[in-house]
Chains A and B, each alone.
Chain A
Amino acid sequence: MIRKFNYTGRKRIPRSRITINLVPVQRGPSYFEASIDLTGIDLPKRAEIFIEAYRRWFFKRFHFGTVDRIQQPEDRYLEDQDPRALIMFRVKVVEPGARGRILAGADRIVPHRTDEKPSDKVSILPVDFVDLGRCLWRLDLESDPPILQLNSTVEEIKDVARSDPNFMALVYPEVVRQVLSRIVVEEDYLDFEADVDDWQTQWLTFATNMLGYRHLPPSGDSEPVRQEKFRWIDDVVEAFCSTYKTLDKFVQIRHAGD
């Protein structure tokens, strides 16, 4: 079973202490607003804070002052980025001096978009809009966390993904299956006690919430254990479909035109 150890002495900044709002702008570069609460985390007052925005080969770094004086820089623009693109963020608190040692950090932060309704829920499946050629959707399982890519050339794809019963019934159960297969079968990651900000832990929590009971399959990669893992994933997918009534809604919409 995979467990994560932190040998670097670097402190973790809980996600709940960081808010990043992305303000998409149709004509001109989008920008972001950030707030960071470091209260109670033992850090030198002069330590410097940086926020880094990244996506593919785009990278930009912003100086947010020091621990005792957090300040948003004026330039928080993300030039040349599609306003719908998924930009991720990381926060670093760095020891002052030439060889900057990282004292605390948080990575893979998905910003809240101000053109979407605010929500208290944590999104476990970031969505990106890219030109996928002839494909409608693709699950990028190699990124951390996995990203649902939607074809940016398809009109209203965002609304389709959000509320179309066909899409709900045909795509999301497969997404759940693939992500859980990566976590449970490929990575053998079965640790509820791990960091709550880890995307794997969040997905396992989501899965057990679907099931309605706190149960995970056993760890290991023997054939019987793998079979048990696949059965567990089947159960979660079925519970997901049941919770969201995917079949009922799919059938309903098929008969709506009759």
Chain B
Amino acid sequence: MGDVVRVLNEEGIRRFQGYLGDLRQGVQVDPPWDILTDTWCSARLQRQVVIDKLVFKRKLEAARYLEGVLGPFGSRAVDQHVGLWTWITLYYFDQLCPPAARGMRRPGADYRFILDLDFRRYYRHLLVGPYTIFKIHKEKVPLLLHAPLQLVTKFNEELGSRQGFITNRGVMEAANYLYFDPKKGKAKSGAAVTTRKPGTLIRFVDVIQQLDLTYDLHSMTGREVVSLLPPEFDEWRGQYTLT
């Protein structure tokens, strides 16, 4: 038995925003669950959608589930619907901002919960980011979807923020080949360092931006993109050494 999805209105978003502000100030109170159904703060969707309070181990499960629920509505109705996504975010708030030690919740910036349509912050929304990645790449890029819901990894930051990367299947699959360990089900350690160490994520971004000037990367598979990379990536290439 699920719950009917609603849309937070301006008042609902304002109250949720106020709650996030309180948390940041150290005021620890219960999330404003009442606004999920309060008619002063939320409204029904034109078409009824039912959602379940499932527990998602990783971003992938959440994205897959939400795509199943919202996909039939079409991108135009869903992707930039601030009220809809903010409602869903509050609905799953316990997973998106779980209480840490002594019951303290540390939410971080508003854009993680309240959808911000500015492109630089859009992908940082804790549900819209994974949802969009899943819509484009389905199960092929676990590198960006293996982490728990509340974490935004360096891979999400560096790859998700770049339009030319996130929409390029070959490039994203290449990143996945290099930096995801399928046996452990997580990113290889040492790949996401913040320095420009040879072969690591930041260098991958640099090199792909250079290759993009010369090669039609959009026409390539992940393996073909990997094969273009210079020897500094050999350490990460592992079993995907190509000729």
Specify whether A and B are partners.
yes
Q: How far is the CB of A84 from chain B (nearest CB, A)?
A: 12
What string of 1s and 0s marks CB contacts (under 8 Å) between B125-136 and chain A?
A: 000000010001
B218: Cβ under 8 A from any A Cβ: yes
Q: How far is the CB of A226 from chain B (nearest CB, A)?
A: 27
If the complex has contacts A57-B163, A58-B167, A99-B224, are A131 and B80 also in contact, measured as CB distance less than 8 A? yes
B29: Cβ under 8 A from any A Cβ: no
Asked whether, in the complex, the Cβ of B76 is within 8 Å of the Cβ of A102, the reply is no
Give A142 to B119 CA distance when docked, in angstroms. Answer: 10
Give A140 to B121 CA distance when docked, in angstroms. Answer: 13
A-side interface size class: 20 to 34
Asked whether, in the complex, the Cβ of A130 is within 8 Å of the Cβ of B215, the reply is no
Asked whether, in the complex, the Cβ of B218 is within 8 Å of the Cβ of A52, the reply is yes
Residues of A within 8 A of B70 (CB): none
Give A56 to B219 CA distance when docked, in angstroms. Answer: 19
Asked whether, in the complex, the Cβ of A101 is within 8 Å of the Cβ of B216, the reply is yes
Give A99 to B215 CA distance when docked, in angstroms. Answer: 7
A132: Cβ under 8 A from any B Cβ: yes
From A8, A59, A82, A92, give the contact of B216 (CB < 8 A): A92
A50: Cβ under 8 A from any B Cβ: yes
Q: Interface residues of B, CB < 8 Å — how many?
A: 26
Asked whether, in the complex, the Cβ of A131 is within 8 Å of the Cβ of B117, the reply is yes
Give A8 to B74 CA distance when docked, in angstroms. Answer: 40
Give A102 to B213 CA distance when docked, in angstroms. Answer: 8
Asked whether, in the complex, the Cβ of B224 is within 8 Å of the Cβ of A54, the reply is no
A215: Cβ under 8 A from any B Cβ: no
Asked whether, in the complex, the Cβ of B228 is within 8 Å of the Cβ of A131, the reply is no
Residues of B within 8 A of A81 (CB): 76
Give A101 to B215 CA distance when docked, in angstroms. Answer: 4
Asked whether, in the complex, the Cβ of A130 is within 8 Å of the Cβ of B117, the reply is yes
- A130: nearest chain-B partner, CB-CB: B117
- B81: nearest chain-A partner, CB-CB: A131
From B82, B167, B216, give the contact of A94 (CB < 8 A): B216
Q: How far is the CB of B114 from chain A (nearest CB, A)?
A: 10
Q: How far is the CB of A20 from chain B (nearest CB, A)?
A: 18
Kindly list 15 other residue pairs between chains A and B, CB separation below 8 angstroms, not including A57-B132, A102-B213, A132-B117.
Answer: A8-B214, A50-B216, A50-B219, A54-B163, A57-B123, A57-B136, A92-B216, A94-B219, A100-B216, A100-B219, A102-B216, A131-B80, A131-B82, A133-B117, A142-B120
Q: Which residues of B contact A (CB under 8 A)?
A: 74-76, 79-80, 82, 117, 119-120, 122-123, 132, 136, 163, 166-168, 213-216, 218-220, 224, 228
Query: Which are the 6 A-B pairs with shortest beta-carbon distances?
Result: A80-B75, A59-B167, A100-B216, A94-B216, A80-B76, A8-B214
